[in-house]
Amino acid sequence: MAYADSVVNCGKDWGLINFILNIILPGIGTIISSFMNSGGINSTALIFGILQLLTAWLLIGWIWSIYHGYLIYQKSS
């Protein structure tokens, strides 16, 4: 599964909300977006969100979370 498959299209408003959540609370926006997938839960996005949350204290997870949130927003716009 490609990285692009982990980016969920969740609608314009939710895309912005998830982006903001990923900036403030790393990984939370990604986790929420994983449940908004039209075909059921996106397990890749869920795992990525958990990893972002767990590695946020290293700053790697926080930067990854912001980037992933931006991709969610971009795909949802």
Tell me, what's the pLDDT at 7?
Answer: 95
pLDDT for the residue numbered 58: 94
Rama region for 17: left / alpha / beta (φ>0; ψ in -120 to 50; rest): alpha
Q: Enumerate the domain spans of the chain.
A: 8-76
CB 59 within 8 A of CB 52: no
For the record, the structure tokens of 57 come out as 């204290």
Provide the whole-model pTM: 0.93
- pLDDT 10s digits, 19-70: 999 999 999 999 999 999 888 999 999 999 999 999 999 999 999 999 999 9
pLDDT-derived band at 5, boundaries 50, 70, 90: confident
Residue 1, pLDDT above cutoff 80? no
